[in-house]
Structure 1
């Protein structure tokens, strides 16, 4: 985040005045204090200005989690420019699309992205992170001053591309105010201390990597350690070795860690808070962490909310292990009523509407989509169906994932929750496929841990669900297609189901 008004210096500079000698960032054999970070950010911002970066320009970043991501983010903000972290797991064609879509004037990338950059096609000006020291030294020798662009809470800070599970990805515009208020919401919900040491294992091109734990810890003056590649055994070892106090993750990461051979012997006593979100977690995974004494909190959010909307509480999570908690302090939730207006939640699930100072400014260069995503100009349509019980939020499903079979609503997430009750099941996903008689029927794709027969699975479903909710087709597969953040790519499963089970027009 940049300065809130002209002439007062960048965010790292302000933090450096409070706790200059504390460690801000650490990675392998490299450590940066807050004073050191502020110094490098100032000089890097001056270098970016010399390279032609101006207020409002987009500076893209491509590479794995690294200290240089933070240096580029803060330096870009100090210039009054907009930071665009890109998904390094994409193809060159996809990266080329995003660079063109955001109109980046500069691409910063680390060595691990060399081949991807070469495959991206037409490029803006390029700066490798290995050149940072030389650029910074040039600014020191020249005695140049960092730019004094100054920003307000309403100025854009970040473009985050949505995961793109359907169609072309689009960039959500997050302002300095959005990121600041999300940080305040986090700090109001759980304790972060200046002595905390957090791991940043979720990718920094994703809202969970930046907004959850990471920026709140830096805001408080704690230490953040970015991790380039997720390895469950390595992460567990690092928690014990470094006395890690917290991290944020997606459920797949939590599942992989509690299934690692070192899980039972790793000392997790230093952990004070582990946040997760992005998709539902299986109850046995949540219980595995809670049973180890880890203060696990599920959050619900989205890129467009920077990302936090709701989160569990330490007091209530043991009784509500699968709930996404209660709304953040400065965030409001409402249900979409039948009259297309915001209304309080009742007994029935409804599409969730969200408003608050953390909610984004719209989609980059998509004015109509931005307008259509809000009700009454203030309530963002989440696209998620939610029910609220005694104030606690439960995400039922995506509106677009709803299956209407014989006139009845079937929520895939409800069916999936019943399937994963079986110990033999590793993961699953349910999608709809057209059916001549019922309109749509369900297709369940199931990854098993041990042997499971179709008849046993069907018997379990029929014992726990209304008959119309039981998928017509049960398919055992080795893996489920996922995007870079671990979310299941349902568009691929729908295409697979259509090829296998959809009725052929004209067939008898």
Structure 2
């Protein structure tokens, strides 16, 4: 079966903004995302990456995480987002346990990986070389491979709260079913926009937030690293109609000097997870009429 859903979405919404990156000052349409992924898939195939190979990425919230996921989907390879907040011993365990073949990385975090994965470090996602490979204006079409639904699609590691991080395996069927159910639960559609402030190496920011939104045809605004004050500014500029954060992130927004409750006027609902809701946060937001789950 073909699980290349970004190519299907791109056929419906060729020019609509899919991802906005305020840090880089640019945006990408759905067609751009598909072309970038096909270019990267072509490059990886030429570099010897085959179906079932694990390809990792060690980077903050960035379009390159989507590039790699969609490229590995087209190849039938396995996508591995690595938590850059892990301790060196934990990162070493992830690298060893996952049998990762190549690791893309952001230069800012390169020092964390050096000495433990030098032979696996593949490319800086902020480099001119990477930009040239994925450049959608130089499209290299790629024919996606057929994949069985129980084939491994994504390998994510836990945060290691009670020991070393443990690998969580998502098959293509489980991933797609999760995305569809999330779209139906939140009633997301192509008019929706949100800010991706939770880390995209985590299931909350990736599987539960940005991927369902893109599957539904919405628009995602990336916050490279979370900061409450900066998120308030992004709220003012981009006016999202829903948010998914953890309670302490909502709190960081509320206590920042630039917090403006009017930013929540267009927010239809907010979702929190990871810990118990903070009563003061709920009271403040409910007072503006937004639903808080």
TM (normalized to structure 2)?
0.91
Q: For each residue in 1:364-401, what CA deviation from the matched residue of structure 2 results, as whole angstroms up to 9, or x when unmatched?
A: xxxxxxxxxxxxxxxxxxxxxxxxxxxxxxxxxxxxxx
Paired residue for 1:249, among 232, 245, 252?
245
Partner of 1:52: 48
SS at 1:207 equivalent:
coil
Contact 2:19 2:27 in 1 (8 A): yes
Partner of 2:4: 10
SS at 1:199 equivalent:
strand
Paired residue for 1:219, among 190, 215, 219?
215
Shift of 1:265: 5.0
Higher helix share: 2
Paired residue for 2:161, among 155, 161, 165?
165
In the superposition, relative to structure 1, how do residues 193 and 121 fare at CA in structure 2: closer, same or farther (>3 Å)? Answer: closer
Shift of 1:121: 4.3
In the superposition, relative to structure 1, how do residues 212 and 41 fare at CA in structure 2: closer, same or farther (>3 Å)? Answer: same
Contact 2:247 2:276 in 1 (8 A): yes
SS at 1:160 equivalent:
strand
SS at 1:21 equivalent:
coil
> Structure 2: 5+ residue runs without aligned partners?
none
In the superposition, relative to structure 1, how do residues 93 and 139 fare at CA in structure 2: closer, same or farther (>3 Å)? Answer: farther
2:20 matches 1:26? yes
Contact 1:240 1:270 in 2 (8 A): no
Shift of 1:159: 0.7
Aligned partners of 1:150, 1:162: CA distance in 2, in Å? 29
Q: For each residue in 1:269-305, what CA deviation from the matched residue of structure 2 results, as whole angstroms up to 9, or x when unmatched?
A: 12122211111112222222222222222xxxxxxxx
2:139 matches 1:182? no
Higher strand share: 1
Q: Which moved more, 1:126-135 or 1:227-236?
A: 126-135
SS at 2:243 equivalent:
strand
After the TM superposition, which parts of structure 1 deviate over 3 Å for at least 4 consecutive aligned residues? 136-140
1:67-78 equivalent positions in 2, closer than 5 A: 67-78=63-74
Shift of 1:152: 3.2
> How many residue pairs end up in the alignment?
289
In the superposition, relative to structure 1, how do residues 290 and 211 fare at CA in structure 2: closer, same or farther (>3 Å)? Answer: farther
Q: For each residue in 1:397-451, what CA deviation from the matched residue of structure 2 results, as whole angstroms up to 9, or x when unmatched?
A: xxxxxxxxxxxxxxxxxxxxxxxxxxxxxxxxxxxxxxxxxxxxxxxxxxxxxxx
Shift of 1:151: 2.0
Aligned partners of 1:275, 1:138: CA distance in 2, in Å? 34
Q: Which moved more, 1:266-275 or 1:245-254?
A: 266-275
Shift of 1:147: 4.7
2:151 matches 1:155? yes
Q: For each residue in 1:292-332, what CA deviation from the matched residue of structure 2 results, as whole angstroms up to 9, or x when unmatched?
A: 222222xxxxxxxxxxxxxxxxxxxxxxxxxxxxxxxxxxx
Partner of 2:133: 135
1:325-474 equivalent positions in 2, closer than 5 A: none
Aligned partners of 1:185, 1:67: CA distance in 2, in Å? 24
Partner of 1:203: 199
In the superposition, relative to structure 1, how do residues 183 and 110 fare at CA in structure 2: closer, same or farther (>3 Å)? Answer: same
In the superposition, relative to structure 1, how do residues 42 and 138 fare at CA in structure 2: closer, same or farther (>3 Å)? Answer: closer
Contact 2:198 2:204 in 1 (8 A): yes
Shift of 1:264: 4.4
Aligned partners of 2:272, 2:75: CA distance in 1, in Å? 33
In the superposition, relative to structure 1, how do residues 280 and 54 fare at CA in structure 2: closer, same or farther (>3 Å)? Answer: same
SS at 1:68 equivalent:
helix
> Structure 1: 5+ residue runs without aligned partners?
298-508
Q: For each residue in 1:329-350, what CA deviation from the matched residue of structure 2 results, as whole angstroms up to 9, or x when unmatched?
A: xxxxxxxxxxxxxxxxxxxxxx
In the superposition, relative to structure 1, how do residues 20 and 121 fare at CA in structure 2: closer, same or farther (>3 Å)? Answer: closer
Partner of 1:38: 34
Higher RCO structure, 1 or 2 (CA under 8 Å, sep 6+): 2
Shift of 1:157: 1.0
